[in-house]
Each structure stands twice: as C-alpha cells, then as structure tokens.
Structure 1
C-alpha cells in the first residue's frame, strides 16, 4: 500500500520531534501519564486548531476518524478525559518556548519580513 504524506504531517515538519521532546522535558511538571504524551497532545491540538474544532468531544471525535493516520505522525489517540487533564494541568510555557523557536526560525528564513502579531 502506498503512503502519501498529509498536509498535517508537512506542517508538523516545522517542529522537529527531537526539539519538541527536549522542550517538553525542560518544561515538564508533575507526573507523566501512562499512555498519553505531550507530542500526542500537540498533534491533537494542532489538528483541532486547523480543523476549527471547538469542544473536547468534537476534537476527540475528529481525531478518532483519523486514527489510522496518527501512527505516521508519531502520535496516539487520546481519550477525552486524558486530553482534558493534560490541557488543564500541563503548563503552557512549553508552547510559548515552541512558538519562540518557530518565530526565530521564520525570521531566519525570511530576514526582510517584519513579523507582527495582533492581540485580539
């Protein structure tokens, strides 16, 4: 069977897995979950953001329909309760650091561009 990359996998290439894992280890607090990983949370939330999902039930339902593609992204399907616990208890500082790295990478690739972000 032929494998073709999804658009999500192409977007996730901007976030090298080893960099993400080192940031996750640096910003880790509390106990680790048995089956859930920060990468799975990141992939799930990226899918939710890109597809415009608004509730946990909607997010988990959407990810469940794409479960056969998660393996190729290095992710696993999360339950609604695990996703809720992870979003509630894990610090957002990991994603701030990740955004900083991505912004720096974009500024390096396009040095003449003035990246501006509007606060809503």
Structure 2
C-alpha cells in the first residue's frame, strides 16, 4: 500500500524548525522539562486548532487516537494535566515570535 503524508504533516513541514529551536533556547522554554517538549506542545496545540477542539480533553483524546502517527511527526501523546501545566508555565513568547516570523515570510497574497 502506498504511503501518503497527512495534511497535518504537510503543515508541520512548513514550520521553520531551526528558528523554533533557537527561540526555545533563547527563552529556555525546555529548561527543567521532563515530559513535554515545547515542540510536542506546539504540535498538540496546532492539532487542537485544526481539529476544532474546544478543550484540552479533546486535544488529548484526538492525539491519543493518532498515537501511532505522532512518532513520525516528532511528537508524543500527552496527558491533559501535563499539557495544562505546559500552557500555564511555558513562555508564550516562543510561539508569538515563531508566528511573527512565519507571517513576515508569507507572501503578500497571504497576509
């Protein structure tokens, strides 16, 4: 059977991961983190946004149902409490700066 990447995988390929990792280092977002990396948090939040999830439970449930494919995306399943803690404690500037960089790279037709 022929393998085809998901639309979600194609979206993740558009993220400048090197720039994202630099921002994670600058803000020390992964310092003292044991379970959920900033990258996995971003993947979870993007999944929640694109799937129309309205709660952390929906995000976690959806990711759990696709757990075999998360490995290929560079992410891992997450618990609701871990995701809630990460959302509360991690600096949002990492994500804001990534968004600003991606918007600046977008063509005029996309802005």
TM-score normalised to structure 1 length: 0.83
Query: Structure 1 residue runs of 4+, over 3 Å off?
Result: none
Report how far residue 31 of structure 1 moved.
4.1
SS of the residue aligned with 1:76? Answer: coil
Report how far residue 16 of structure 1 moved.
2.5
TM-score normalised to structure 2 length: 0.90
Aligned partners of 2:99, 2:10: CA distance in 1, in Å? 17
Bigger Cα Rg: 1
Is the alpha carbon distance of 1:67 and 1:102 closer, same or farther for their aligned partners in structure 2, counting shifts above 3 Å? same
The total of aligned residue pairs comes to 111
Report how far residue 25 of structure 1 moved.
1.1
The 5 A counterparts of 1:74-113 are 74-106=74-106, 110-111=107-108, 113=109
Computed over aligned residues only, the root mean square deviation of the Cα atoms, in angstroms, reads 1.8
Gaps of 5+ in 1: 116-120
Report how far residue 82 of structure 1 moved.
0.7
Gaps of 5+ in 2: none
